[in-house]
Amino acid sequence: MTRPIIVALDFATKEEAVQFLHSFSEPLFVKVGMELYYQEGPSVVRKLKALGHAVFLDLKLHDIPNTVYSAMKGLAKLGVDMVNVHAAGGIEMMQAAKRGLEDGLAEGSELPKLIAVTQLTSSSEELVRSEQKSELSLRDSVLHYAKLAQTAGLDGVVCSSLEADMLRENIGDDFLLVTPGIRLTEGNHHDQKRVATPNLAKQLGSSYIVVGRTITQDKNPVAAYRSVQNDWERD
Ligand SMILES: O=c1ccn([C@@H]2O[C@H](COP(=O)(O)O)[C@@H](O)[C@H]2O)c(=O)[nH]1
């Protein structure tokens, strides 16, 4: 069975997010990012979980290992399904994140999937070379970070769909590849640089696609969700 689409709830308030979700008849897999979490805090996650939605808490932690450990220990208590860090924080930081989740988990709860951002889908080859001053190409940098995440014992990474086939070849099938930067057409990419359609993402090996504005800013979000779903699920 095809995995659910992760819908990015990039709204300023809990009320807007909940109102958006009222149009759907089924529970979704939703993503709470910095915009919503920094306004509403843990209460928004509790509300979404109470409504029956699976939650990816996309806070992209990146700090010293001790701070990330403590932050993850707190987040583990929220009962989220997926959380993330930046792989650039290094193996020790990623291992601390994992330990924090394990230590903070309420008894009987399932450990959230822990994944690491490799290179943001808004980053281009040019940015990686000239602003990050990387000696590696963007694709090699994504592979490098994915290997660090694997060494640290994480469940997977965030990357663009365009690197998914390369990661599958080098890292194997037993690793989650969560891919934002999804667009249905060649139209508006907004700030995303590395984009793919849902179906291309699937063909290249994505485990989950993350879709925000294509659905949330459409005048008929449910119809937009169904279009993404049809493209993602077709062979
Ligand atoms: O590399 C990354 C990591 C996270 N994101 C997040 O995904 C969504 C994408 O939104 P769209 O509107 O579909 O572009 C957004 O919440 C980002 O914070 C990402 O795009 N790229």
Taking domain 5-233, whether its CATH number is 3.20.20.70 is answered by yes
> Using CA positions, which residue lies closest to atom 11 of ligand 1?
212
What is the Cα–Cα distance from 121 to 76, expressed in whole angstroms? 26
Q: Coil, helix or strand for 145?
A: helix
- Return the bridge partners of 211, or none: 7
Dihedral (Cα; 220, 222, 224, 229), 10-degree rounding: -170
pTM of this structure: 0.98
pLDDT above 70: percentage of residues in the chain: 100
Whether ligand 1 lies within 6 angstroms of the CB of 212 is answered as yes
User: Which atom of ligand 1 approaches the CA of 120 most closely?
Assistant: 1
118-172 pLDDT tens trace: 999 999 999 999 999 999 999 999 999 999 999 999 999 999 999 999 999 999 9
Confidence of residue 196 (pLDDT cuts 50, 70, 90): very high
CA of 191 to the centre of ligand 1 (A): 9
**How far apart, in whole angstroms, are the C-alpha atoms of residue 10 and residue 31?**
8
DSSP 200: H
User: According to the annotation, is 19 in a ligand binding site?
Assistant: no
| Ligand 1 atom nearest to 159, measured from its CA | 1
Looking at residues 11-31, what average pLDDT do you find?
98
Query: Stretch 205-231: mean pLDDT, rounded?
Result: 98
For this complex, say whether ipTM is above 0.95.
Answer: yes
Is residue 58 part of the annotated active site? The answer reads: yes
3 state DSSP class of 205: coil
Catalytic option among 14, 47, 49, 58: 58
Average pLDDT for the chain: 97
**206 C-alpha to center of ligand 1: Å?**
15
Handedness of CA 70, 74, 77, 82 (dihedral sign): negative
How confident is residue 186, by pLDDT bands cut at 50, 70 and 90? confident
Is 231 one of the catalytic residues? no
> Known binder of ligand: residue 185?
no
Which helix (H) or strand (E) segment holds residue 107: the answer is none
In tens, the pLDDT along 90-127 reads 999 999 999 999 999 999 999 999 999 999 999 999 99
Do 133 and 144 contact (CB within 8 A), yes or no? no
Q: Which residue has its alpha carbon closest to ligand 1 atom 13? A: 212
64 assigned binding-site residue: yes
Mean pLDDT for the stretch of residues 200-213: 98
Mean pLDDT of 8-20: 98
Secondary structure E strands in the chain? 6-8, 29-32, 54-61, 82-86, 113-117, 156-158, 176-179, 208-211
Q: Is 67 part of any known ligand binding site? A: yes
